[in-house]
Amino acid sequence: MREPFGPLLPGIRHVPNTLGFTGDCGPAAELDCVRAIERAIAEEGPETVAAVFAEPVQNGRGALVPPDGYWRELRRICDEHGILLVADEVICSFGRLGHWFGSAAEGIVPDLITFAKGATSGYAPLGGAIVREPLVRGLYDSPLGGTFTHGATWGGHPVSTAVAVANIGAMRDENIPGNVRDLGPVLRAGLDEIAARHPVVADVRGTGFFYAVEFTADRDSGRELTEDQSTRILREVLPDAMRRTGVILRPDDRGATMLMVAPPLVADRAVLGELLEGVDEMVASVARAVA
């Protein structure tokens, strides 16, 4: 999806993601995925870098949970060079990771947060940005007169914003982030148990109510899926298993053959049990297809 827009966005640098790094990997400042950011800034010149963008848990490539200290290092690097730190929380905010904002789980405060989806639980379209007060004051005091002059036909739409207020109020009153924190380990344990029984699962990654199940041909021997097997799994095997089980999830092929698991934030143990039964059948279907 990014390819057609690349020529329109000169000056964007990409650095390696955190795949393969999770938990305690030693001092975060010494990790390749962190040092690559510092190298890119040095190569471009810190004075030319406007911002560093990252997701608290990266969606692309399948629920990549960063290693311990990663976000603190991002904050340190940006502060050292006068660069803004932007948390892309379109997926991670409003309870998905068990916190109102995923960056809060990392113990840092970004300069901007982009959000959408979860603010209304998808009942109405809404996206936005949350900006630290010093940046807003800088805009208000600028020669621009304190506003952006581009049009926003549907900006601040009263229906979507009213839905967001009602939704966030319900999430607060029903302690939905707390439900995710309490039951996230139950979801993780169930997915790990399924993976242990099926060698076609290469990895289970994620946190809160956001996980990826990555497939391979045989975990024990290291045999990878062929391109034909991957295509069949994504287009035939998993959709058929979803129809049979009544559990609808999202197959993903960005970098690997995966099944994304993101249950409703209000799910209780019974709902998670039904979900895990469906996942078990989907994984078993993949195993039969590969065999």
- Over residues 171-183, the pLDDT tens digits come to 999 999 999 999 9
pTM of the model: 0.93
Q: What would the mean pLDDT of 221-239 be, rounded to a whole number?
A: 97
Of the candidate ranges 68-72, 142-146, 156-160, 228-232, the one whose mean pLDDT is the lowest: 142-146
Q: Are 32 and 77 in contact (CB under 8 A)?
A: no
Question: Is the pLDDT confidence value at 4 over 90?
Answer: no
Give burial (CB, 10 Å; 0-12/13-18/19+) of 232. middle
Beta-carbon contacts of 280 under 8 Å, excluding residues fewer than 6 positions away, are 194
Same fold: 3-145 with 176-290: no
CATH of 3-145 among 2.40.10.10, 3.20.20.105, 3.90.1150.10, 3.40.640.10: 3.40.640.10
pLDDT for res 151: 67
Q: What would the mean pLDDT of 215-244 be, rounded to a whole number?
A: 97
pLDDT for res 140: 85
pLDDT for res 279: 98
pLDDT for res 152: 73
pLDDT for res 3: 83
pLDDT for res 139: 85
Confidence of residue 149 (pLDDT cuts 50, 70, 90): low
Q: What would the mean pLDDT of 101-126 be, rounded to a whole number?
A: 95
**DSSP-assigned letter for residue 25:** -
Q: What is the DSSP string of 182-244?
A: HHHHHHHHHHHHHHHH-TTEEEEEEETTEEEEEE-SBTTTTBPPPHHHHHHIIIIIHHHHHHH
CATH of 176-290 among 1.20.1440.230, 3.40.50.300, 3.90.1150.10, 3.30.465.10: 3.90.1150.10
Tell me the per-residue pLDDT of 5-20, one tens digit each, with 9 for 90 and over.
888 888 899 999 999 9
Q: Where do the structural domains in the chain lie, given as residue ranges?
A: 3-145, 176-290
Confidence of residue 155 (pLDDT cuts 50, 70, 90): confident
Closest-CA residue to 136 (of 144, 106, 259)? 144
pLDDT for res 150: 66
What's the Cα-to-Cα distance from 253 to each of 102, 142, 250, rounded to whole Å?
24, 45, 10
Q: Show the tokens assigned to 137.
A: 């004051």
Q: What is the largest CA-CA distance in the chain?
A: 66
Name the CA dihedral angle for 32, 35, 41, 46, rounded to a multiple of 10 degrees.
170
Tell me the per-residue pLDDT of 76-88, one tens digit each, with 9 for 90 and over.
999 999 999 999 9
Q: CA-CA distance, 27 to 93, in Å (whole number)?
A: 27
Tell me the per-residue pLDDT of 27-69, one tens digit each, with 9 for 90 and over.
999 999 999 999 999 999 999 999 999 999 999 999 999 999 9
